[in-house]
């Protein structure tokens, strides 16, 4: 016997077997079947900002990898002669720190290309900064182009091509005048480094890395145009020049990577910038003291003014007397207030005591019609109404309203 529950379950299982999924859709009127699933869509693919190391551990591992690469190249270059029998002469030349076709040259080219990509990403991020009214973010496009040209120079040696072109146009050789080439390269490097320092000044680590980059490239320019002194004759110029080039290229990659991380975290509110408060100037301090002294003297000076105002109000009230309703008060209740040790009286006894007071208030209201009453200060009936019951207070309010109504009618 098949129950209704098992029958429904059987129908559900049979219907689910024939439902086509997104990966096994049958070609029909909608077109051919897709070769890739939805994971290949653009929204599911990683973005370029995902390549920036956000965590401190990832950034530390990346820096450690770069430093280990430079250290490994130095170790291979120092042991190149011992490895000639193992890797051959071409292999020994490839592990040198200077020259075309070496691992050091390849590492410099890759580092400069990565620097160009980071500069392009910084341009895309910095263009959305709200307080960049002068459009200073456009400098990162120029920096990206500069790093592309520098990477080409590592592989092609564009400096010698530019020197020959300058000699052909001006009939003056830059090779024979090394001081001129040295001056031009130093000026161009100083302009680039100063601009970089201005851009990355918010990140201290990037600031220090840019200074190291400047030292590395200054060493390259000096070693290329000025011979070593006799005191440094034991130093291999190729090894020193190669290390300076590696310091400049790898240091640029480190500085830009750290700054790209800083910009990304700052754009997402994960880094708070310190706001400097303006210090008071010398001229502002006497003004502040004068303001504080005037504020301290103001209460003493304000007393005579209030007295003058009270006198003028009193004169105006004597010139034009206006009848005002007398508020219901209970002066006797304050004098005849029982002590704390006395027993609590009943509500009827309180009402009996307040009846003569109400009669007195009626007589005062009738006399107020015939004689104008001078303006009396308002009496605060806060503590006096505490001894009256709710009914008595309500009755007093009604009498006061009736007296005010009769005064207006008169």
Boundaries of every domain in the chain: 52-267, 319-337+345-369+386-410
Mapped onto helix, strand or coil, the DSSP state of residue 276 is coil
Q: Evaluate whether 94 touches 101 at the Cβ level (below 8 Å).
A: yes
Chain centre distance of CA 25: 49
Chain centre distance of CA 383: 56
Q: Return the structure tokens found at 263.
A: 């910009």
Q: Evaluate whether 257 touches 212 at the Cβ level (below 8 Å).
A: no
- Judge residue 403's burial from the number of C-beta atoms within 10 Å of its C-beta, 0-12 exposed, 13-18 middle, 19 or more buried: buried
Identify the pLDDT of residue 4: 56
Q: Evaluate whether 330 touches 384 at the Cβ level (below 8 Å).
A: yes
Angstrom distance (rounded) from CA 173 to CA 156: 20
Q: Evaluate whether 52 touches 121 at the Cβ level (below 8 Å).
A: yes
Closest CA to 139 of 53, 186, 209, 197: 197
Angstrom distance (rounded) from CA 143 to CA 116: 7
Identify the pLDDT of residue 275: 60
- Judge residue 112's burial from the number of C-beta atoms within 10 Å of its C-beta, 0-12 exposed, 13-18 middle, 19 or more buried: buried
Q: Look at the block and give the residue holding tokens 């049979």.
A: 14
Angstrom distance (rounded) from CA 72 to CA 209: 21
The 10 Å CB-count burial string (b at 16+, else e) for 187-208 is: eebeebbeebeebbeebebbbe
Q: Look at the block and give the residue holding tokens 């009256």.
A: 388
R_g (Cα) of the chain, nearest Å: 47
Q: Evaluate whether 181 touches 226 at the Cβ level (below 8 Å).
A: no
- Paired with 31 in beta bridges are 28
The 10 Å CB-count burial string (b at 16+, else e) for 53-77 is: beeeeebeebbeebeebbeebbebb
Measured in residues, the chain has a length of 410
- Paired with 154 in beta bridges are none
Identify the pLDDT of residue 410: 78
Angstrom distance (rounded) from CA 188 to CA 167: 20
Neighbours of 358 (CB within 10 A): 14
pLDDT tens by residue, the chain, 410 residues? 455 556 666 666 666 554 555 444 444 556 667 788 888 888 888 888 999 999 999 999 999 999 999 999 999 998 888 888 888 888 888 998 888 889 999 999 999 999 999 999 999 999 998 888 888 899 999 999 999 999 999 888 888 888 888 888 887 777 677 788 888 889 999 999 999 999 999 999 999 999 999 999 999 998 888 887 777 777 888 889 999 999 999 999 999 999 999 999 999 988 877 766 656 565 555 555 555 555 444 444 444 444 444 444 544 444 444 444 444 444 444 444 444 444 444 444 444 545 555 556 655 555 544 444 444 444 444 444 456 788 888 889 899 998 998 888 87
Closest CA to 248 of 209, 210, 224, 213: 213
Helix (H) or strand (E) holding 236: none
- Judge residue 324's burial from the number of C-beta atoms within 10 Å of its C-beta, 0-12 exposed, 13-18 middle, 19 or more buried: middle
Closest CA to 327 of 377, 367, 288: 377
DSSP letter at 176 equals: T
Angstrom distance (rounded) from CA 353 to CA 385: 14
Mapped onto helix, strand or coil, the DSSP state of residue 31 is strand
Identify the pLDDT of residue 100: 86
């Amino acid at each position: 016997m098949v129950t209704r529950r098992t029958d429904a379950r059987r129908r559900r299982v049979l219907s689910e077997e024939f439902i086509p999924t997104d990966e096994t859709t049958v070609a029909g009127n909608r077109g051919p079947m897709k070769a890739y699933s939805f994971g290949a869509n653009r929204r599911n693919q990683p973005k370029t900002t995902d390549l920036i190391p956000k965590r401190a551990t990832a950034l530390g591992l990346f820096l450690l990898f770069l430093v280990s690469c430079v250290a490994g190249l130095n170790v291979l270059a120092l042991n190149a002669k011992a490895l000639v029998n193992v890797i051959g002469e071409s292999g020994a030349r490839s592990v040198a720190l200077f020259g075309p076709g070496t691992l050091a040259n390849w590492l410099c080219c890759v580092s400069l290309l990565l620097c160009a990509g980071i500069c392009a990403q910084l341009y895309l991020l910095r263009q959305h900064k709200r307080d960049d009214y002068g459009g200073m973010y456009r400098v990162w496009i120029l920096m990206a182009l500069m790093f592309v040209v520098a990477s080409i120079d590592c592989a092609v040696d564009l400096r010698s091509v530019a020197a020959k072109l300058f000699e052909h146009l001006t009939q003056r050789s830059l090779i024979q005048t090394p001081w001129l080439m040295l001056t031009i390269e130093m000026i161009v490097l100083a302009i680039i480094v100063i601009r970089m320092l201005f851009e990355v000044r918010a990140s201290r680590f990037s600031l220090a890395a840019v200074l190291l980059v400047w030292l590395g490239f200054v060493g390259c320019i000096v070693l290329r145009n000025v011979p070593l002194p006799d005191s440094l004759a034991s130093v291999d110029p190729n090894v020193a020049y190669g290390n300076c080039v590696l310091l400049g290229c790898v240091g640029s990659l480190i500085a830009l990577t750290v700054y790209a991380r800083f910009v990304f975290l700052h754009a997402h509110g994960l880094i708070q910038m310190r706001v400097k408060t303006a210090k008071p100037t010398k001229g502002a301090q006497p003004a502040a003291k004068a303001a504080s002294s005037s504020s301290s003297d103001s209460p003493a000076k304000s007393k005579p003014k209030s007295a003058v105002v009270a006198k003028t109000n009193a004169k105006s009230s004597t010139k034009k007397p206006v009848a005002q309703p007398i508020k219901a008060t209970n002066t006797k209740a304050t004098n005849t207030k029982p002590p704390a040790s006395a027993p609590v009286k009943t509500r009827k006894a309180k009402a009996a005591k307040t009846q003569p007071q109400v009669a007195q208030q009626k007589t005062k209201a009738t006399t107020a019609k015939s004689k104008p009453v001078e303006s009396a200060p308002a009496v605060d009936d806060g503590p006096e109404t505490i001894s009256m019951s709710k009914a008595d207070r309500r009755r007093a309010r009604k009498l006061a309203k009736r007296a005010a109504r009769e005064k207006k009618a008169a």
